Each structure stands twice: as C-alpha cells, then as structure tokens.
C-alpha cells in the first residue's frame, strides 16, 4: 500500500473515532447524565400543567439558604419573558411585548394636580386608552367630574368607591364612559368581536407601588346588579367559585382562564345592550414589578 493511501485511511479512522465519540457524548448527555433541576420550578410545572417552550432558564439565589426543602425564592424570573414567581405568588410565563415601552409614571406630578389619583391604565395596542385612574372613598365622584374636580359629564376613569383603599386582592373594578369617538372606554367595544382579542389582550396598570401587566380572559355584557361587581377580602373558596363563573360567562372562548391565585381587574363601561347593562372585560395579572 502506497504512502498516500495510508494517509487517507488514517484520516478516515481518526474522523470515524471522532464522530463515534461525539455521538456517544450526546447520547450520554441526553439519556444518562444527571440533570440539574429546580424542585420548586418542577412543582410549579406539575401543579399548573405547564410546559415552557424556548424559555431561557437562569439560576436563582435563595433568600434564606438554611430554610427547609419547601423554601421559595424571592423572585423567580425568565430573562426576557417576564416574571414567573414573586414571593410565593405564581405568575404566568407570558413573554413581554417588545413593541411596548414599559412606562415610569410620575405620580408625584399627577398628585400635584389631584391627590385622588391611584393608578394609570394603558393598553399595549390600543393607544387611545392611556389614562390616570382616580379613587374617592365611598363615592362615584369621577363619574361626572374631571381630574381638576370640576363638573364634567365625561368624567374620568375611576375605581369602585366601595373598595377599600381603591385596591382589591381579588377584583379591582375600574369604570369609564363609553365615548363614541373611542376615547375613555369607548374602544372596549372592539372586544365584542372574538377576532379582535388575539394580539390585543394585554394592558398595564401602574400604581405608586409597582407596574402590573394584565391579560384579558373574559368579555361579556351583564346587568349592573350582577355578581360581576363583587370583591372579596382575600382569595378563598368564594373567590374560586366566583372566578369559575367569570371564566365561563365570556361571550366567546378566549383560551385564557384565571385561577384562584390571580388578582383580577374588571373594566366596565356602558353598552348598547340597554341602560341596565354593562360591557365588561376581565383580566388576570400576568406580570408584576414592585422593585
């Protein structure tokens, strides 16, 4: 055998050994290598029946390393995909919208105008809905008054006056007028069509304490006296039963369901269905940043 053939055969043998080695390593890594797992994350997956596709997992420090096995991280998040867990509260791994700029609301400047401001509501894709939200204990003052306190039939967005401090851990209700030109809550009528929801299901609620993203899970019309306008001191059996009803009475299938650990915002406005009826959009919190 001449020298050239020997060199070629040697190269083939070396390459073959290399390929076999690579394939062996891949097989070992896939089937036999011990994988590092996060017991807490695995528990979340199992409890909520979740599968995470194409999400980047990062390592999270424990708040107190000497706690028992059921310890919880302060914040568990996926880079670029929102927050999964904050304290012991589960939040959904819903990717953030790269086309939406998360705001820094200057509440001090707003409070210089009116101390009753409690939040700021903004839709990601409905740029016509971007308003301060007001609250006055025990009243619906802002139904017919503007941010300066002057009488105005167009009013402002405001939280149900009977909700303590203007925020409920279960169901915070925000009212706004159904304006024909689409301002205030006039554009919510678009959600009567199921085709509009996809891609338009998120809004943000900013408060002096944090930034919160919500995802709409139910759209329907109901009497203003219905149990939609109910809130609870804290999550529990009654809240779970109420949520089941809210999930099931949407006029069309949204593909989204709130669960008993969720905080809900209910958006309410008048509707063409009649004077005693209201158009309602209900949304679950999917992200929060209280840093």
Asked whether the predicted pLDDT for residue 1 surpasses 90, the reply is no
Closest CA to 93 of 119, 58, 125: 58
| 141 shares a domain with 44 | no
Residue 58 lies in a domain: yes
Last residue of a domain, one of 30, 61, 90: 90
CB 161 within 8 A of CB 139: yes
CATH number at residue 129: 2.40.260.10
**pLDDT value at position 274?**
72
* pLDDT band for position 6 (cuts 50, 70, 90): low
| 125 shares a domain with 71 | no
Tokens 């509009």 -> residue: 196
Q: Specify the higher pLDDT residue, 13 or 99.
A: 99
Those residues whose C-beta lies under 8 Å from the C-beta of residue 107, and which sit 6 or more positions away, are: 117, 120, 207, 208
| 145 shares a domain with 45 | no
| 186 shares a domain with 121 | yes
| 141 shares a domain with 85 | no
pTM comes to 0.71
Task: Report d(CA 207, CA 132) in Å as an integer.
Answer: 10
| 223 shares a domain with 143 | yes
| 273 shares a domain with 234 | yes
Task: Report d(CA 216, CA 185) in Å as an integer.
Answer: 15
Q: What is the CA radius of gyration of the chain?
A: 26
Q: What tokens does 184 get?
A: 């205030």
Task: Report d(CA 202, CA 19) in Å as an integer.
Answer: 49
| 121 shares a domain with 82 | no
Strands in the chain per DSSP E? 75-77, 83-86, 89-90, 117-123, 130-134, 157-159, 171-175, 202-207, 210-223, 264-270, 277-289
CB 193 within 8 A of CB 251: no
> Average pLDDT, stretch 247-270?
94
* pLDDT band for position 81 (cuts 50, 70, 90): very low
Range of the domain at 77: 39-90
Asked whether the predicted pLDDT for residue 166 surpasses 80, the reply is yes
Q: What is the pLDDT of residues 94-137, one digit of tens each?
A: 788 889 999 999 999 999 999 999 999 999 999 899 999 999 99
**pLDDT value at position 3?**
60
Residue 54 lies in a domain: yes
Residue 123 lies in a domain: yes
**pLDDT value at position 48?**
46
Closest CA to 214 of 134, 141, 123: 123
Number of domains in the chain: 2
Residue 8 lies in a domain: no
| 257 shares a domain with 155 | yes
Residue 9 lies in a domain: no
């Amino acid at each position: 055998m001449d020298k050239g053939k020997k060199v070629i055969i040697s190269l083939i043998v070396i390459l073959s050994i290399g390929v076999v080695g690579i394939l062996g390593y891949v097989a070992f890594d896939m089937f036999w290598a011990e994988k590092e797992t996060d017991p807490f994350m695995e528990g979340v997956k199992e409890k909520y029946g979740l599968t995470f596709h194409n999400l980047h997992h990062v390592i999270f420090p424990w708040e107190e390393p000497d706690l028992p096995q059921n310890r919880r991280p302060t914040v568990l998040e996926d880079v670029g995909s929102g927050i999964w867990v904050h304290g012991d509260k589960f939040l959904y791994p819903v990717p953030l919208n790269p086309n939406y700029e998360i705001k820094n609301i200057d509440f001090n400047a707003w409070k210089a105008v009116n101390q009753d401001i409690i939040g700021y509501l903004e839709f990601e894709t409905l740029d016509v809905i971007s308003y301060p939200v007001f609250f006055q204990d025990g009243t619906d003052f802002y139904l017919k008054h503007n941010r300066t306190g002057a009488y105005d039939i167009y009013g402002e967005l405001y939280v149900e006056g009977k909700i303590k401090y203007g925020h409920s851990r279960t169901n915070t209700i925000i009212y706004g007028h159904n304006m024909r030109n689409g301002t205030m809550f006039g554009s919510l009528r678009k959600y009567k069509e199921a085709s509009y929801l996809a891609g338009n299901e998120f809004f943000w609620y900013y408060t002096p304490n944090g930034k919160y993203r919500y995802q709409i899970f139910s759209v329907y019309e109901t009497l203003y006296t219905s149990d939609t306008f109910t809130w609870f001191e804290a999550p529990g059996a009654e809240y779970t039963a109420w949520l089941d009803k809210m999930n099931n009475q949407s006029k069309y299938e949204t593909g989204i369901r709130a669960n008993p650990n969720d905080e809900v915002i209910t958006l309410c406005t008048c509707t063409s269905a009649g004077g005693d009826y209201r158009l309602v959009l209900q949304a679950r919190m999917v992200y929060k940043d209280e840093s």
